[in-house]
């Protein structure tokens, strides 16, 4: 174990040996193993956005096995998926790459402006399927925040008792926020702090914009001249907001974009001190060979 991995594990002294083992396994997996950086392939979009929107651009993606094979062949750190997909792949692939069970889900058939994901899997499922981690989405800004925070807090405790890593997708959304506010720098930094306080080992957030949503926050950003002009500055601030960098913060790839646009964004994310990326549609919607090449380019950015 090198000094960087020892340092990261030292931030989680309250965790049991089983959780530390799974943290170590994810941190040491794939081409970025041992660097303290990671790239994860999440494929929950079939549930979250619908099958055609997610998989029609690359037809093999309708099969969950396609995605885990892609993650393995690209030498990524882990693969995340909901319960149904995990039940297809776990028996054959659980030993080949760390798996993250996405335990709650939301769909776009519900037009409510205040989302509240349903619990669609359990800690018991994650253990049964040989997963290294369990993941949850929360929507800070939704009027249902109390329900989400209490559910995730309770299940995170159960997960840690079973030796699992806890991953929180912290995505601000709801009637109290503007659309622009969902990725505002003050809101994304706040979302990272909330996930850290809920007990996450890994925190997934979206790359923040320069917009400031909350008037009281704007006064502080201006008073203390907090740098937010560049994406790298904003990434640094979000990582700082998760216990001064003592929680692993990774950034989503978002909607499918052009290759150069994604790679430039990842260069800025890396320059800001992020721990890595969790890239779904921008990888699996590409033809397999193109996806493998693209993911290799992403990995090389984080290798520095």
Q: Output the pLDDT for position 111.
A: 82
Q: Output the pLDDT for position 124.
A: 98
What mean pLDDT, rounded, does the chain reach?
Answer: 96
How far, in Å, CA of 139 to CA of 14, rounded?
A: 26
- From residue 103, alpha-carbon distances to 126, 134, 136, 166, 181 in Å are 8, 7, 6, 11, 26
How far, in Å, CA of 152 to CA of 195, rounded?
A: 10
Q: Output the pLDDT for position 250.
A: 98
Please give the tally of structural domains in the chain.
Answer: 1
How far, in Å, CA of 8 to CA of 165, rounded?
A: 14
Mean pLDDT is lowest, of 43-52, 203-212, 241-250, for 43-52
Q: Output the pLDDT for position 128.
A: 97
How far, in Å, CA of 86 to CA of 97, rounded?
A: 12
How far, in Å, CA of 157 to CA of 199, rounded?
A: 8
Q: pTM score, two decimals?
A: 0.96
Average pLDDT of the residues in 237-249: 98
Judge contact between 285 and 258, C-beta under 8 A: no
Q: Which domain covers residue 223, as residue numbers? A: 3-106+114-303
Q: Output the pLDDT for position 256.
A: 64
Q: Is the pLDDT of residue 254 over 80?
A: no
pLDDT one-digit tens code per residue, 156-196: 999 999 999 999 999 999 999 999 999 999 999 999 999 99
Q: Output the pLDDT for position 179.
A: 96
Catalytic residues: 171, 204
pLDDT one-digit tens code per residue, 212-221: 999 999 999 9
Which CATH number does the domain housing residue 73 bear? Answer: 3.20.20.70
- The percent of residues in the chain predicted with pLDDT above 90, rounded, is 95
Burial (Cβ within 10 Å: 0-12, 13-18, ≥19) of residue 176: middle
Q: Output the pLDDT for position 298.
A: 97
Q: Output the pLDDT for position 246.
A: 98
Q: Is the pLDDT of residue 65 over 80?
A: yes
């Amino acid at each position: 174990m090198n000094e960087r991995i020892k340092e990261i594990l030292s931030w989680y002294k309250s965790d049991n040996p089983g959780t530390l083992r799974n943290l170590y396994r994810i941190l040491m997996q794939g081409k970025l193993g041992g660097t303290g950086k990671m790239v994860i392939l999440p494929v929950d979009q079939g549930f979250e956005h619908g099958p055609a929107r997610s998989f029609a651009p690359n037809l093999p993606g309708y099969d969950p096995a396609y995605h885990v094979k892609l993650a393995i062949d690209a030498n990524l750190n882990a693969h995340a998926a909901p319960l149904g997909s995990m039940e297809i792949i776990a028996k054959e692939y659980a030993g080949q790459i760390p798996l993250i069970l996405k335990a709650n889900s939301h769909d776009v058939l519900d037009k409510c402006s205040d989302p509240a994901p349903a619990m669609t899997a359990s800690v018991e499922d994650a253990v049964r399927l040989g997963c290294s981690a369990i993941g949850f989405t929360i929507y800070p800004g939704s009027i249902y925040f109390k329900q989400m925070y209490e559910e995730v807090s309770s299940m995170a405790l159960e997960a840690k008792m079973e030796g699992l890593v806890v991953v929180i997708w912290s995505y601000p959304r709801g009637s109290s926020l503007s659309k622009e506010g969902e990725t505002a720098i003050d809101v994304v930094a706040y979302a990272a702090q909330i996930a850290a306080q809920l007990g996450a080992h890994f925190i997934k957030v979206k790359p923040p914009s320069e917009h400031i949503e909350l008037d009281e926050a704007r006064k502080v950003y201006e008073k203390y001249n907090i740098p937010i002009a560049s994406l790298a500055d904003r990434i640094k601030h979000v990582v700082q907001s998760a216990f001064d960098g003592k929680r692993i913060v990774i950034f989503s790839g978002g909607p499918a974009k052009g290759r150069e646009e994604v790679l430039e964004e990842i260069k800025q994310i890396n320059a800001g001190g992020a721990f890595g990326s969790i890239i779904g549609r921008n990888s699996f919607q590409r033809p397999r060979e193109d996806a493998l090449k693209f993911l290799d380019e992403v990995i090389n950015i984080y290798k520095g």
